[in-house]
Structure 1
Amino acid sequence: MKHPTSTVLLALVFAHATQTLGQSPQTIHLQSRVAPPGASLKRRALGPANVPLADFFKGTDLQWFGNISVGTPAQDITVVFDTGSSSLEFASTLCGQACANQKQFDPSKSSTFVDGGRTSSITFATGVGVDPVVGSNYKLTLRSAIDTVSVGGLKANNVNLFLITNQTPTFNIDPFSGIQGMSATAQGFFASLISQGLPSLFSLYLTPKAVGNAELTIGGIDNIKFKGNPTYASLPAGSSSTWRLASPRLSVNGKTTSVLNTQRSIIFDSGTSNVLFSTATTEAIYSLISPDIKPNPAEPGTYGIACDRIASLPAVIDIEFTSQSGTPFNLTIPSIFGMLAVVGWGLLPFRTNSKGLGWQWHTFKARLNKAQHDHINSH
């Protein structure tokens, strides 16, 4: 609500006096004063904050992670900002040896910590590295809690979170302690910031190790890193908390097939290095690159080709979407990001998944450009 330059503020003065039936009504005197020119009763909104991100590099860029602070006094831990998750969970001293490779939050040292008393587990459909997920090899055991959380100087009290009390050995390589979910429906920390007036927008600038300076901007867009006008696309009905868009077409070097020219859902997940398609879609993509691309027997669901062939197989891959205005636009994976050489065998990025999940966003295009997301419940 906007207010005129000269705004009258009413100050109510209450008298703490008992009143019995039959007494005359008590008079409360109202006093007025005029606010200075330019003053406003508008709630002071939070401003955007930039959070530097480190690159977990192991042969290729696997994850980008940054610092958050939890508890009172604050304890710093590192997390992946994951658009494929909705909750905040991180290693704790309750995890013991299973989390020995990660920095652990100590709840006994936080005066604002509240134990939620509820235990649960979560199994991930995609992993940290490029290896496929097999069964429950990426699983966390959690305990609910509440505490104060700060990210980039933005603070939220009474945030629902989870302490990791056990984890499978596949997490041992992680240089970060946990995950901060950034799903399409704002929850926990981000829901609190939005209620405090922060614009319900965040953006990711994910770069290769050689470029550096990766960044998360909470509540806005870093205009130093992003130039031009953003193109916005609406999430389809039923997306719930998933960053999901419908795509009518995929093409390779400007060519498509009947399989690729089919409507499909694409999921944007900043917490994985994998690119997952159905077997039919994956093999249709590779058929337009080279007939010599074959399934990798060492890792079911993956494909590869001899490393000395990679340079001769340029492949620009376009994924088509539709903007809010109804205009088609392409998300392009440059050829330079299309292949990964691994010990004489070129491990290719597109792999199969029995659940038919869509393309996982960050590994390629987001290394070059800024990904921007508006929360569904924007204010």
Structure 2
Amino acid sequence: MKSVLRPLIGPVLYGLIIALGYIFIIERTSQPIQHEVVLIEKQITETPIQSTASISDPISYADAVSKAQPAVVNIATSKLVTEKAHPLADDPVFRRFFGLNQAPRRQRMQQSLGSGVIISPSGYILTNNHVIAQADQIKVGLADGREIDAMVVGTDPETDLALIYIDMPDLPAINLAKTENIRVGDVVLAIGNPFGVGQTVTKGIVSALGRHQSDISSFVDFIQTDAAINPGNSGGALINAYGDLIGINTAIYSNSGGSLGIGFAIPIGTATDVVKQLVQYGQVIRGWVGIEPQVLNPALAKAFNLPNIEGLLVMGIAKNGPAHQAGIRPGDIITHMNGNMIEDPRAAMEMIANMKPGAKVTIRVNRQEQSLDILVVVGARPTPQG
């Protein structure tokens, strides 16, 4: 019997050794995989699910709105308008011929709506000039439902800002942000009274900074936003995600009068500079020399047979204005002001506007290819008519 089994012992033992080795290898290689699976399951179990909203983009802006909203007011204005009985009613010959000299003219009350922002607990409210312009009565409606008549402290048509005052104690004033902290892409909220439906909040971002809209103002670098702004929002607040005021909503770019996602607000830095002068003087005093400049480009130089140099061509000059009295002439090319090279009419105008009347500025001009330094005494910028 032993002789029969002896030949089988070797192959059996060899097979057992191979089987044990295979099992050992499988166990050793499976341990790291099982360990990784355990770690992943542990992480899934112990790690909380996080919201996709970041700290800078909260789920709700209710805190910012509740902080700023009490300081935003509704403004209702009314003025007595005299209507003409006929387009030629002001013509004296027409009135005498048709016997209209004694005819009474129709009068009606014209009303409009806008918004404003309380910037001082003592009662100062900032709004747009076009909201209260030529109004006979200005009524302010607070967020808590109270209403009171307001008086005009001062206006600045050139920035479309106005400061009004209401006699109420302990008013909820808004917190002012720092203009230099505003960035393109920041979340902003517009608060106002669009179409008179009541106080409304819309959300957007800062679309651009430093927008120049000469048809609105030559002295404002506007904040552009896509937050919905409509008629009635004018003078209202543009706030950041923390409820601080960054701008005064002023205008929209629209052919239809409705919001197209392009709105403009006056930065709070510009507004506060205007407010300081309105409180102190009742108006904003800007420097003025009385020139109408245009960038001298190659085409313009060729058309007027002028040297092709960098500078501003004096296209027009105010009669008896500071520049005229100093000897500057149309056709002169302005190259420097107080030693600084000037290439942009807007920059030149801002430089002069920031000077006080009576200050002196040296303007270097090129006249018939000769450089002349002309000393000009800055005057006060005339108040715009209309």
TM-score, normalised relative to structure 2:
0.25
Structure (1 or 2) with the larger CA radius of gyration: 2
TM-score, normalised relative to structure 1:
0.25
Higher RCO (CA < 8 A, seq sep 6+): 1
